[in-house]
Amino acid sequence: MLRAAWKLAIETLSQMELQGLGERLALTKTAKQLKIRDARVVGLAHRLVFETGRRRNFIDFLLNSTLAPHSLMDFKPKSRAFLRLYTYETKMVNDNFEKAVRIARMGRSILGWRELHGAEEAFGEILRLESSDVLKGLNDEERVALSTYHPTWFVKYCFRLLGRKEALRFLENAMEASPAYIRVNTLKASEETALESIEKERVTIEKIQQLKYTYKVVKTQKPLMRTRSFREGLFFVQDKASCFATEVAGPKAGMTVLDVCTAPGAKTTHLAQLMENKGNIYSIDYSKRRMKIWKRETKRMGAKIAFPILADVRRSLPTKISADLVILDPPCTSTGVFNKVPSAKWRLLKRSVLGMAKIQWEMLNQCAEHVKDGGFLVYSTCSITLEENEMLIERFLKWHPEFKLTKISPRIGLPGLRGQTKCQRLYPHIHECNGFFVAKLLRED
């Protein structure tokens, strides 16, 4: 089992690097290619991939210090993946010498001794290396970046955005596992009946008082998605911030709603629930793969008023619908969910923020054309950057004077920055959920 898990982890990390895939997709695809179905093997590989990927900058820094005058990039992708996994397991989990020897032998058996020949000396050097010594001589931002496992540019950005003290709390929190949340689905059963079924499966949950149908998972005996209640559509695994964003949109029964960037279906099924399956939801996304998931989830959750539309919203919406409510949750840099998507940290550069803001701007402009007079446009991201949030809304309001910010209710977050107090921001280290931004705009021609 251990060897199979390490082989899966090595292959997954190398595919992530070669193809730019996220952890979950790469792990799923690789497990399928290797025909690995054992949940224990996949679970162990999942931990290795996520935790190694989370610390990648520090691990690479240690390895390059050890490999000098050579570098990690002198090795092939699978060798790099193994060296990273070895360093994580021997320096950050347990530095037992005998364990390190076993892992090195296992690496040779998986990859072949020729593949790792140039790294033999590094195995012992890594064990002898003192992490604190390596950090000496670095400036403050570089040291914080390595010790909290974030890119240096992002540490500098957070220092400017939040101040050093608050930024450290935010950055350090990225190592913590945020709570899981579920949204109880009243389209399939009453809230009371659904709760009884969930609790019978020994899932302990706690109500989030400010939000409808939203519960924090305190304890569960098995993965939530393997419960009968999940299969029957009695709940959706959905972060508190995501539930909040849909609820503040205020969908009502009978409305016409455009749900833009809809997949994998959390917003759509939540909208249908709040609308009591009365009205019309036009759900738009550009990804065929993700829309397949959307179709499966809307069916599981009993959302009967949603209609899928495959389209690239940056160019135009293939409909002339004028909606009571348009919800846009566009692609973003995911800087508010680095604890859940570690690989996103290393794919981003400082200029990536501006590139993503450009895409969001194009989408926001397209969505504005489909909001009827007296209707609402709700914009949200799981990013904490100003460029993707407040600065984008400022620019939008200048270009579209027919829109104005309106107060968001309920208020469970902090006010938006740059004077946009009607918007709300949520932070993982404060609100125990994804980092999020939400703006609600009213159209008055």
307 with 281: CB under 8 angstroms? yes
Cα(417)–Cα(409) distance, integer angstroms: 18
Query: Encoding tokens for residue 1?
Result: 């089992």
123: pLDDT confidence band, cut at 50, 70 and 90?
confident
Catalytic status, residue 261: no
Per-residue model confidence (pLDDT) at position 277: 98
Residue 242 within a domain: no
Please work out, in degrees rounded to the nearest 5, the angle formed at the alpha carbon of residue 269 by the alpha carbons of 227 and 441.
140
Per-residue pLDDT for 314 more than 80? yes
Residue 104 within a domain: yes
- What integer best gives the mean pLDDT of the chain? 93
Per-residue model confidence (pLDDT) at position 310: 94
Q: Report the CATH number that the domain containing residue 8 is assigned in CATH.
A: 1.10.940.10
- Residue 314 shares a structural domain with residue 393: yes
Per-residue pLDDT for 32 more than 80? yes
- Residue 308 shares a structural domain with residue 386: yes
215 with 181: CB under 8 angstroms? yes
Q: Is the dihedral of CA 81, 83, 87, 90 positive or negative?
A: positive
Cα(135)–Cα(371) distance, integer angstroms: 53
Per-residue pLDDT for 69 more than 90? no
Per-residue pLDDT for 317 more than 80? no
Residue 280 within a domain: yes
Per-residue model confidence (pLDDT) at position 282: 97
Place of tokens 């503040």: 248
- Residue 107 shares a structural domain with residue 20: yes
370: pLDDT confidence band, cut at 50, 70 and 90?
very high
Per-residue model confidence (pLDDT) at position 341: 87
Mean pLDDT for 304-318 is 90
**Closest to 431 in 3D by CA, of 157, 264, 181, 154:** 181
Prior bond to 342 cis, omega within 30? no
Query: Encoding tokens for residue 7?
Result: 């082989």
Residue 428 within a domain: yes
- Residue 355 shares a structural domain with residue 409: yes
Task: Please identify, among 173, 198, 224, the residue that sits at the C-terminal boundary of a domain.
Answer: 173
The conformation of residue 435, written as its DSSP 8-state character, comes to -
Cα(282)–Cα(125) distance, integer angstroms: 58
201 with 217: CB under 8 angstroms? no
- In total, how many domains does the chain have? 4
Task: Please identify, among 124, 148, 173, the residue that sits at the C-terminal boundary of a domain.
Answer: 173
Mean pLDDT for 89-107 is 83
- Residue 164 shares a structural domain with residue 265: no
Cα(395)–Cα(269) distance, integer angstroms: 31
Cα(241)–Cα(227) distance, integer angstroms: 23
Per-residue model confidence (pLDDT) at position 136: 85
Catalytic residue among 243, 332, 382, 423: 382
b/e burial code for range 290-320 (CB count within 10 A of at least 16 → b)? ebeebeebbebbbbebbebbebebbeebeee
423 with 437: CB under 8 angstroms? yes
- Residue 256 shares a structural domain with residue 391: yes
Per-residue pLDDT for 125 more than 90? no
301 with 272: CB under 8 angstroms? yes
- Residue 422 shares a structural domain with residue 374: yes
207 with 215: CB under 8 angstroms? yes
- Residue 191 shares a structural domain with residue 267: no
Residue 116 within a domain: yes
445: pLDDT confidence band, cut at 50, 70 and 90?
confident
219: pLDDT confidence band, cut at 50, 70 and 90?
very high
Mean pLDDT for 303-314 is 94
- Residue 310 shares a structural domain with residue 251: yes
What is the rounded end-to-end Cα distance, in angstroms, of the chain? 64
- Residue 161 shares a structural domain with residue 204: no
Per-residue model confidence (pLDDT) at position 319: 79
Per-residue model confidence (pLDDT) at position 75: 86
> H or E element: which one contains 377?
strand 371-381
Of the ranges 17-26, 114-123, 323-332, the best mean pLDDT one: 323-332
Cα(212)–Cα(179) distance, integer angstroms: 18
Beta strands per DSSP E along 139-241: 181-184, 203-207, 214-220, 235-237
Per-residue model confidence (pLDDT) at position 2: 85
Per-residue pLDDT for 30 more than 90? yes
Q: Please state the φ and ψ torsions of residue 422, each to the nearest 5 degrees.
A: -80, -20
Q: Left if phi > 0, otherwise alpha if psi is -120 to 50, otherwise beta: which for 149?
A: left
Per-residue model confidence (pLDDT) at position 130: 78
- Residue 156 shares a structural domain with residue 120: no
99: pLDDT confidence band, cut at 50, 70 and 90?
confident
Q: Report the CATH number that the domain containing residue 293 is assigned in CATH.
A: 3.40.50.150
Residue 109 within a domain: yes
211: pLDDT confidence band, cut at 50, 70 and 90?
very high
Q: What's the domain range around 153? A: 140-173
Per-residue model confidence (pLDDT) at position 105: 87
Q: For residue range 166-200, what is the model confidence (pLDDT) as tens digits?
A: 999 999 998 888 899 999 999 999 999 999 999 99
- Residue 36 shares a structural domain with residue 157: no
Residue 189 within a domain: yes
Higher pLDDT, 272 or 100: 272
Residue 292 within a domain: yes
Q: Report the CATH number that the domain containing residue 231 is assigned in CATH.
A: 3.30.70.1170
Task: Please identify, among 215, 237, 259, the residue that sits at the C-terminal boundary of a domain.
Answer: 237
